[in-house]
Amino acid sequence: MAAPDLTPNDAFDRFNRLQGANAAPDPYPEWAKKRRETPVWLVPPTEFFESGMLMPGSPDQIAVPLSFDAVVEVLRDGETFSSSAYANTMGLVMGHSILEMDEPEHFKYRGLIQSAFNRRQLDRWENELVRPLIEGCVAEIRSKGRGDLVRDLTFPFPVRVICGMIGLPEETHATFHRLALELIMIAFDPALGMAASAGLRELFSGVLAERRRAPRDDLMSELAMAELDGTRLDDEQIYAFLRLLAPAGAETTYRSSSNLLLGLLSDPEQWEAVRSDPGLIPAAIEEGLRWECPLTGIQRTAARDAEICGVKIPAGTPVHVCLGAANRDETRWENPDRFDIHRPRLHHSSFAFGPHTCLGMHLARMETRILLETLFEQLPGLRLDPDAEAPHITGRMFRSPLALPVVFDA
């Protein structure tokens, strides 16, 4: 069991160490080389994943779709490429969440929380949660005169947004953040992941009991009152929903917005272009997501003998859908390794495709837009700290810079 006084920052360091973030070589050159040979790489998992990562069933071989077309083909066909194998990985700590459901079950359950992410709700989250949180973080950086945009801003704020949406009391937010990080350590340290899962149950249970008695206007109340085929969800079903939102909200937006900030701040011309023309913000956000997607791969299994772009895949083969490689497919994007907000805008794969397309994508985009708007407004002359070590993006499965030291004009 993790020490109770462990802070989210300690858990952050630990996770980065476990996944060898600092030591991981840039995976893109290897993926590009393989993608030129084949749209789908058949490879032993030990050769593909970082050392220390556990793969259930220890299969001899996995299929890794690398080309954009191969990734789309797999993700659009949820019947042939099932999500059920998540039950043996993330499902162990999350419970039976929509992530591991196939149709028709998936559609029914996803519908229960979809409304929390619709336009009307997003406007509410923007005004009540996102803007005040980001402005608070940036005001603190401003008062210090310098800062690390990862630790002081992109790391803490998205998780506090999720806490607010769920309706968790303020004093539990730091614990929620630590547990959300520890939950995904299941692939490296199963005992820690399981302890985090139990910790989240404990954290949710008191609030759920209260909301069952007296519902409020939050996600916990919505789930407490939700019915499927005339029956209320039981507590474990609700915890599974909420446990999925923990890493979905905590791990992704912080990494994607850090990557975008690094791309922009490393190229003052592009930073200035967006600063002086906020109409370019959406293009910059999509290019950041394409160039360095925060989560480079997701999991499927071939439910029957199948083919992906002509490559035969035997039934039962684990499929690691390489979103990162698809986003740098040179048959779709010219000079794909370059971060270029002015390039023609084409759909990238960072939010996946098909039935499991990210439910929080509009929220993530809105959070990132407000983050940029606030930085432009509150920190004039923002630039990477010339006296600090130049930051770079690290990691294989999860990618982002470990720090973004910055200075600005007083």
Binding region for ligand HEM (CB under 6 A): 98-99, 110, 162, 244-245, 248-249, 252-253, 256, 293-295, 298, 350-352, 356, 358-360, 363-364
Cβ-based nearer residue to ligand HEM, 265 or 352: 352
Cβ-based nearer residue to ligand HEM, 76 or 110: 110
Q: CA 166, CA 246: separation in Å to the nearest integer?
A: 10
Cβ-based nearer residue to ligand HEM, 356 or 369: 356
How far apart, in Å, are the Cα atoms of 268 and each of 57, 124, 263?
48, 33, 9
- As given in the structure block, the two tokens for residue 212 are 């069952």
CB of 182 to ligand HEM, least distance (A): 18
Q: What are the CB-based long-range contacts (under 8 Å, 24+) for 45-50?
A: 45/318, 45/320, 48/320, 49/396, 49/397, 50/19, 50/20, 50/24, 50/396, 50/397
List the one residue out of 250, 270, 249 whose CA is nearest residue 261: 270
CB of 98 to ligand HEM, least distance (A): 4
Cβ-based nearer residue to ligand HEM, 1 or 54: 54
Instruction: For residue 104, say if its preceding peptide bond is cis, omega within 30 degrees of 0.
Output: yes
Cβ-based nearer residue to ligand HEM, 45 or 249: 249
CB of 99 to ligand HEM, least distance (A): 5
List the one residue out of 145, 176, 146 whose CA is nearest residue 159: 176
Q: CA 269, CA 5: separation in Å to the nearest integer?
A: 43
Classify residue 228 as left (phi > 0), alpha (psi -120 to 50) or beta. Answer: beta
CB of 75 to ligand HEM, least distance (A): 7
List the one residue out of 27, 24, 99, 89 whose CA is nearest residue 56: 89
CB of 79 to ligand HEM, least distance (A): 14
Cβ-based nearer residue to ligand HEM, 175 or 350: 350
Cβ-based nearer residue to ligand HEM, 99 or 382: 99
CB of 381 to ligand HEM, least distance (A): 27
Looking at residue 130, the DSSP 8-state letter turns out to be I
Task: List the beta bridge partners of residue 306.
Answer: 313
CB of 257 to ligand HEM, least distance (A): 8
Cα angle at 229 between 227 and 230, to 5 degrees? 60
